[in-house]
Structure 1
């Protein structure tokens, strides 16, 4: 039986999807939109934008596309140029995606952007002159480009259900595509993940998490001596 993605409403009034194979939601049940805004935009992208006005952003785990949509809105509002690259080996089926998008209740222009993001499979799509987007239907282990990334949104499912995404090997793959001083942000705050990142030459910050969660991780790749 194919994986089903059930819509679940979260405590801030925004929807997420429940993945029946992993038995886990894509975003926090305490607030999908507020989690994405806090972890990936305010703590991640906004910090990267203080340093550069042209950014290569790489997301591991495109999922619902909420992080990408928020990054697009941030780029437009802040005159930021973003090349957005992401991986999603198991895209949400189109009919389930349409049902999810209706629950988002987006304005017409953002609804069009949202659907174009999900339609962009393996080829670059320009959404205006400040945002270029490409989503590859590949796993991290099968992605071998080195795009010179300035910030990584690490949004795989949790280590409890997708442990292969949180190993030293997986995080080394991501590190190899990052510039010196590039950022990695993730909702995850596991001690084992912090230790691996430090072993891979990152400076790790434990920052307040979203929706009352105690911590999240922001890590900066150190320059090689």
Structure 2
């Protein structure tokens, strides 16, 4: 698919993000890309779920592979805690090599190699990235994705509703609900009122949590 013009930026915690210039929208918070992802998707979703369930194998679905930061942090947690993670992610506009090679998420050469492996991984094909982390990237939209409905969690990391309202519509949230196992959770940085109403209408129990850096609130949805 066509790649949109992207500009590399540095956020307040020193980690990189990207600015998609046609939308005038960044991939992460200006207050800290790595800090935001670690809080919203790792601490309030993956680590929370793993500690609650004690599962040894977890299936994750991500809306928006983007810079690969969420997958990178999840892979690191999988190795640290010896938890098997199967990670599926959709991305209609993959980041090209000349961009992803500049991203500074890895703090050691080994971590940078991990980030590059995630981006270099073939599309539409399951890949073992580390001993505890496997990845399937799907070059499509949420609307175009289809898979078995037994995910444990969803990282909902689409662009903001003000930029891509269609992604946050009720039909897509119902699809996410159906993709989850009972007890599964969805998390996102967004706490917009209409989004929370749509999430509830899709069947989720809506939990409003303290937000990441610079944001008052975030949301976790639970499929009971």
User: Fold-level match, TM-score > 0.5?
Assistant: yes
Alignment of 1:31-42 (within 5 A): 31-42=32-43
CA distance in 2, matches of 1:87, 1:202: 22
User: 2:189 matched to which residue of 1?
Assistant: 187
Offset at 1:105?
Answer: 5.0
Aligned to 2:105: 104
Distance, in Å, in 2 between the alignment partners of 1:88 and 1:114 is 16
Q: How far did 1:128 drift?
A: 2.6
Q: 1:35 and 1:215 mapped to 2: Cα distance?
A: 12
**Who is 1:59 aligned against?**
62
Distance 1:2 1:173 in 2: 26
**Equivalent position of 2:95 in the other structure:** 92
CA 1:77 to 1:165, structure 2 compared with 1: closer, same or farther past 3 Å? same
How far apart are the structure 1 equivalents of 2:26 and 2:154? Answer: 21
What displacement does 1:104 show? Answer: 3.4
Q: What CA distance in whole angstroms lies between the structure 1 residues aligned with 2:15 and 2:114?
A: 18
User: Counterpart in 1 of 2:124?
Assistant: 122
| Cα separation, 1, equivalents of 2:31 and 2:131 | 35
Following TM superposition, by how much is the alpha carbon of 1:199 offset from its aligned partner in structure 2, in angstroms? 1.2
Give the 3 Å change call, closer, same or farther, for CA 18–190 of structure 1 in structure 2.
Answer: same
Q: Secondary structure at the match of 2:101?
A: helix
State how many pairs are aligned: 220
Residue of structure 1 in register with 2:145 after alignment: 143
Partner of 2:79: 76
Aligned with 2:183: secondary structure?
strand
Pick the aligned partner of 1:201 from 200, 203, 218. 203
Range moving further from structure 2, 87-96 or 65-74: 87-96
Aligned residues of 1:146 and 1:176 also touching (Cα < 8 A): no
1:169 is aligned to 2:171:
yes
CA pair 91-13 structure 1, distance change in 2 beyond 3 A: same
CA offsets 1:133-177 (integer angstroms, 9 cap, x no match): 111001111112124100100000000010010000111121111
Over aligned residues, Cα RMSD in angstroms? 1.3
Out of 171-180 and 103-112, give the one that drifted further.
103-112
Shift of 1:45: 0.4
Task: Verify the 8 A CA contact 1:204 1:218 in the aligned structure 2.
Answer: yes
Name the TM-score, length of structure 2 as normaliser: 0.94
Q: Structure 1, residues 59-93: CA drift from partner, whole Å, max 9, x if none?
A: 00010000100000011111111000000011012
Mapped contact 1:146–1:177 kept (Cα < 8 A): yes
Higher mean displacement: 146-155 or 64-73: 146-155
- Report the TM-score, using the length of structure 1 for normalisation: 0.94
